[in-house]
């Protein structure tokens, strides 16, 4: 048998080692190939992502990164202060904390999660938060305010959350403040965020702009609002401010001075109390509104924070606290006998010394109309006003006619003579319809009862408390119709110059003396107690079917050099001498008590 004398036959372990080495090399090659494939895959994935981020979504992501780094934030302008005639503050501002959200920070789905967390802290519904975000859009680069005037407890709870959550910001800013709560609420009005329609109408308004919604806040908004500024800031990834890059300072709003007398306004509201009704006090020579109270009222400060559904529903109740009753028509009752007297004397059908028989009742057109008490016999205009004889004015009204009464009622300030635009408030005018106007308004023919009741201020006649104050002023000041106004800058200007309405001196003297006799010896004797100057006035008790009588009063003082005229209406107040005249007395007490201070 042949023998193998080769190297491997001599050293067999070398052959095994070579085989193993070959296998090992192939194994390492496979491992290297696998590793290269894995690395290549990772590189490919990252390359794809880079291409997607840089090319496909590059513009969006660059904008997003820039917005995360630099933000343009609006800076609210301080709203102008509102003062009374003596410079006492009626509306101003104070610092508070507001909560803003940055819509771009999250997707809609993520915002829904954040909104649920914020809802628990802020006591705001998730729907309200989402609605505000959707209103501006989730791509908006500007923040949206979701609530303001948060209290300290809420601030502490939210501060921790804001520190951990992008897109939630707490800012310090001015909000509207009414230091006297509900005082003059219907005059001052309130403020709130601009609506979508208001933002469209005013392109310069930033999102979250605060504007006037009612009263002086609304009518003088362009002067009060100021111009908002901007801050350019750099923030970190959580939205925390790093540094300020630039600022455009806001321009504060301008102050507004009103004709309102704080003390008289306060006295009017206190005397009216919680009753439904209205009180107006004006300067009978200039038309300056010294007070305008309406009840029930509301506190405009509630609109400085989040207005919950419960608060809003409370303001929409049957008592209608938003309604300014000083600018709503009431049947004036016997206070309207002033107008009937003027119309009768101006028509020439009666003379200042004319007398008319009064009775327990009179029959006109087959209908019997009663006196409120026994007849007064044969009396003239002065006594008829002093004792408020119904049968006197039934007869005088019929003979004078509706056209004359309507004409002179308008001349005295009723039914459209007052310029609401100049006043800066929304309201209604009264009405004294003629037969033709009744057919247009009501679609009914004129009836004899219409003129009989018109003579004593009932039936179709409506007069607002503001109109009543203008009407009695024209008698007090010698025959001039004043234009009531609220802005001090309008006093003694061409736009508010009193208008001479053409009353005969004898008419003025007769009616004025009759109103003074009401206080001297008639239905308002309680105002002649010596604590205030002698005044003139007229009570009214308005009968309403199925309801308590309304109480009315008009008056002026001093009697022969008037400085103040008032009109009072109290729903369900009963007799005018009981429910309304004491309110006028309280106003006179305050007004004359403050003279010389």
Confidence of residue 590 (pLDDT cuts 50, 70, 90): very high
User: What is d(CA 579, CA 327) in angstroms, rounded to the nearest whole number?
Assistant: 20
Distance CA 582, CA 320 (A): 25
Angle between helices 152-164 and 108-122 (to 10 degrees): 150
Tell whether 236 and 283 lie within a shared domain: no
Please report whether residue 45 resides in a domain.
no
Structure confidence at residue 17 (pLDDT) = 57
Tell me which of 20-24, 30-34, 463-467, 545-549 is least confident: 20-24
Average pLDDT of span 383-408: 98
Parallel, antiparallel or unpaired: strands 361-364 and 191-193? unpaired
CA atoms within 13 A on the CB side of 138: 9
Most confident segment among 64-78, 170-184, 243-257, 482-496? 482-496
Helix (H, G, I), strand (E, B) or coil at 235: strand
Q: What is the mean pLDDT of residues 199-211?
A: 87
Under 8 Å between Cβ of 537 and 468: no
Per DSSP, what are the bridge partners of residue 544? 547
pLDDT at 10 over 70: no
487-509 average pLDDT score: 97
136 pLDDT above the threshold of 90: no
Q: Is residue 22 part of a domain?
A: no
Contact 124, 292 (CB under 8 A): no
Q: What is the 3-state secondary structure (H, E, C) of 46-113?
A: HHHHHHHHHHHCHHHHHHHHHHHHEEEEEECCCCCCEECCCCCEEEEEEEEEEEEECHHHCCHHHHHH
For residues 177 and 271, membership in a common domain is answered with no
pLDDT at residue number 24: 65
165 is written with which tokens? 């959550």
In DSSP terms, 496 is beta-bridged to none
Say if residue 250 is in the same domain as residue 288. no
pLDDT on residue 2: 45
CATH of the domain at 187: 3.90.1310.10
Label residue 22 by pLDDT band (50, 70, 90).
Answer: low
Give me the mean pLDDT over the 268-284 stretch. Answer: 97
Strands 277-282 and 168-177 come out as unpaired
What is the band of 148 on the pLDDT scale with cuts at 50, 70, 90? Answer: confident
Other residues' Cβ atoms within 10 Å of the Cβ of residue 498 = 18
Please check whether residues 127 and 228 belong to one and the same domain. Answer: yes
One domain, residues 189 and 103: yes
445 & 477 share domain: yes
> Cα separation of 283 and 458, whole Å?
27
**Same-domain pairing of 201 and 279:** no
Return the top range by mean pLDDT from 70-74, 239-243, 533-537.
Answer: 533-537
Same-domain status, 541 and 394: yes
88 pLDDT above the threshold of 60: yes
For the question of whether the overall pTM of this predicted structure is more than 0.85, the answer is no
Contact at 8 Å (CB) between 142 and 75?
no
pLDDT of residue 51: 56
Q: Which of 229, 257, 285 is the last residue of a domain?
A: 257
Residue 33 counted as domain residue = no
| Residue of 233, 461, 182, 508 whose CA lies nearest to 336 | 461
> How many CB atoms sit inside 10 A of residue 43's CB?
10
Average pLDDT value for residue range 191-217: 89
Q: What is the pLDDT of residue 5?
A: 47
Quickly list DSSP for 392-450.
HHHHHHHHH-HHHHHHHHHHTT-SS-S-HHHHT------B---HHHHHHHHS----HHH
Do 482 and 534 belong to one domain?
A: yes
- Same-domain check for residues 241 and 291: no
- CA-nearest of 522, 428, 435 to 467 is 428
Decide: 66 and 235 in contact? Cβ < 8 Å.
no
In a domain, residue 206? The reply is yes
Q: What average pLDDT score do residues 570-575 get?
A: 96
Count of C-beta atoms within a 10 Å radius of residue 51? 12
CA dihedral 331, 336, 339, 341 (to 10 degrees): 140
Lowest mean pLDDT among 141-150, 167-176, 228-237: 228-237
Average pLDDT over residues 110-134: 88
Nearest to 142, CA basis, from 114, 100, 201, 172: 100
Residue 34 lies in a domain: no
Residue 597: what pLDDT? Answer: 40
- Residue 44 included in any domain: no
Over range 243-252, report the average pLDDT: 82
Dihedral in degrees, nearest 10, Cα atoms 29, 35, 37, 42: -170
The rounded distance, in Å, linking the Cα atoms of 406 and 431 is: 8
Residue with tokens 């002698």: 534
**How large is the average pLDDT for residues 459-476?**
98
* Best CA proximity match to 178, nearest among 251, 253, 98, 262: 262
Spatial CA neighbour of 289 closest among 474, 564, 90, 552: 564
Length of the chain: 597
- pLDDT per position as a tens digit, 254-268: 999 999 999 999 999
Q: In which element (H, E) is residue 248 found?
A: strand 241-248
**What is the DSSP pairing of strand 82-83 with strand 256-257?**
parallel
Cα separation, 77 vs 442, whole angstroms: 50
CA 542 remoteness from chain centre: 30
214: left (phi over 0), alpha (psi -120 to 50) or beta: beta
Which pLDDT belongs to residue 139?
84
Q: Does 55 reside within a domain?
A: no
514 in helix, strand or coil? Answer: helix
Q: At what angle do helices 337-347 and 465-476 cross, to 10 degrees?
A: 50
pLDDT-above-90 percentage for the chain:
60
Q: How confident is the model at residue 501 (pLDDT cuts 50, 70, 90)?
A: very high
pLDDT tens string 288-334: 999 999 999 999 988 876 666 677 777 777 788 999 999 999 999 99
Is the CB of residue 445 less than 8 Å from the CB of residue 434? no
Residue located via tokens 């990772």: 42
Please give the torsion angle defined by the CA atoms of residues 326, 330, 332 and 336, in that order, rounded to the nearest 10 degrees. Answer: 80
Mean pLDDT of the chain: 88
DSSP secondary structure of 131-159: HHHHHH-TT-SS-EEEE----HHHHHHHH
| Lowest mean pLDDT, pick from 369-378, 395-404, 487-496 | 369-378
Could you tell me if 364 and 445 lie in one domain?
Answer: yes
At 324-335, the pLDDT tens digits run 999 999 999 999
DSSP 3-state percent helix, strand, coil across the chain (nearest 5): 45, 20, 35
Q: Which residue has the tokens 């001297």?
A: 520
Domain presence at residue 40 = no
How far apart (Å, rounded) are the C-alpha atoms in residues 320 and 296?
A: 7
**Worst-scoring range by mean pLDDT, 18-27, 487-496, 524-533?**
18-27
Q: What is the pLDDT of residue 387?
A: 96
Peptide bond into 558 cis (omega under 30): yes
- What is the reported pLDDT for 232? 81
Span 338-347, pLDDT tens digits:
999 999 999 9
Residues 347 and 464 in one domain: yes
Mean local confidence (pLDDT), 167-190: 90
pLDDT band at 171 (very low <50, low <70, confident <90, very high): confident
Tell me, what's the pLDDT at 456? 97
Supply the pLDDT for residue 55.
54
Q: State the CB neighbour count (10 A cutoff) for residue 455.
A: 29
* Sequence-separated (6 or more) residues with CB below 8 Å from residue 88: 262
What confidence category does residue 8 fall into, taking pLDDT thresholds of 50, 70 and 90?
Answer: very low
Helix axes 390-400, 402-411, angle to 10 degrees: 100
Q: What is the CATH number of the domain that holds 411?
A: 3.40.710.10
- Domain residue limits at 146: 70-257
More confident residue, 343 or 166: 343
User: Per the structure, how many domains does the chain have?
Assistant: 2
């Amino acid at each position: 048998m042949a023998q193998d004398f080769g190297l491997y036959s001599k050293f067999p372990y070398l052959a095994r080692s070579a085989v193993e080495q070959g296998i090992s090399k192939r194994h390492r090659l496979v491992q290297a190939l696998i590793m290269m494939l894995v690395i290549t895959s990772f590189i490919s994935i990252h390359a794809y992502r880079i291409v997607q981020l840089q090319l496909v979504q590059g513009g969006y992501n660059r904008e997003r990164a820039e917005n995360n780094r630099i933000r343009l934030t609006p800076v609210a302008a301080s709203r102008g202060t509102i003062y009374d005639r003596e410079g006492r503050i009626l509306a101003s501002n104070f610092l508070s904390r507001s909560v803003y959200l940055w819509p771009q920070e999250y997707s809609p789905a993520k915002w829904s999660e954040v909104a649920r967390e914020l809802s628990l802290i802020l006591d705001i519904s998730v729907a309200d938060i989402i609605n505000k975000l959707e209103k501006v859009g989730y791509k908006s680069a500007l923040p949206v305010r979701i609530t303001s005037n948060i209290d300290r407890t809420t601030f502490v709870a939210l501060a921790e959350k804001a520190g951990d959550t992008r897109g939630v910001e707490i800012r310090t800013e001015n909000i509207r403040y009414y230091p006297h709560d509900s005082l003059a609420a219907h005059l001052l009005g309130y403020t709130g965020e601009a609506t979508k329609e208001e933002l469209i109408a005013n392109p310069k308004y930033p999102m979250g702009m605060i504007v006037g919604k009612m009263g002086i806040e609304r009518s003088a908004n362009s002067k009060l609002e100021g111009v908002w500024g901007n801050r350019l800031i750099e923030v970190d990834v959580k939205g925390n401010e790093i540094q300020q890059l630039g600022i455009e300072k806001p321009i504060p709003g301008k102050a507004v001075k009103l004709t309102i007398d704080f003390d008289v306004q306060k006295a009017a509201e206190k005397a009216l109390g919680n009753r439904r009704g209205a009180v107006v006090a004006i300067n009978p020579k200039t038309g300056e509104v010294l007070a305008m109270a309406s009840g029930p009222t509301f506190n405009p400060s509630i609109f400085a924070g989040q207005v919950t559904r419960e608060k809003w529903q409370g303001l929409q109740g049957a008592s209608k606290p938003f309604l300014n009753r000083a600018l709503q028509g009431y049947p004036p009752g016997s206070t309207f006998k002033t107008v009937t007297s003027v119309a009768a004397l101006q028509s020439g059908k009666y003379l200042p010394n004319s007398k008319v028989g009064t009775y327990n009742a009179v029959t006109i057109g087959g209908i019997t109309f009663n006196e409120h008490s026994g007849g007064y016999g044969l009396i003239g205009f002065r006594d008829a006003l002093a004792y408020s004889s119904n049968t006197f004015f039934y007869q005088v009204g019929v003979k004078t006619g509706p056209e004359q009464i309507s004409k002179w009622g308008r001349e005295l300030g009723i039914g459209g003579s007052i310029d609401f635009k100049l006043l800066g408030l929304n309201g209604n005018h009264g009405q004294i319809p003629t037969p033709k106007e009744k057919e247009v308004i009501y679609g009914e023919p004129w009836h004899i009862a219409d003129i009989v009741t018109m003579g004593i201020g009932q039936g179709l006649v409506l007069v607002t408390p503001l109109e009543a104050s203008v009407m009695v002023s024209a008698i007090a000041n010698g025959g001039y119709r004043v234009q009531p106004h609220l802005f001090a800058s309008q006093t003694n200007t061409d736009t508010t110059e009193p208008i001479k309405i053409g009353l005969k001196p004898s008419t003025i003297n007769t009616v004025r003396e009759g109103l003074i006799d009401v206080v001297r010896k008639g239905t308002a004797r309680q105002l002649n107690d010596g604590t205030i100057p002698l005044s003139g006035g007229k009570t009214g008790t308005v009968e309403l079917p199925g309801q308590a009588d309304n109480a009315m009063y008009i008056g002026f003082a001093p009697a022969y050099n008037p400085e103040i005229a008032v009109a009072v209406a109290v729903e369900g107040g009963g007799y005018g001498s009981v429910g309304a005249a004491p309110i006028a007395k309280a106003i006179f007490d305050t007004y004359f008590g403050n003279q010389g201070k």
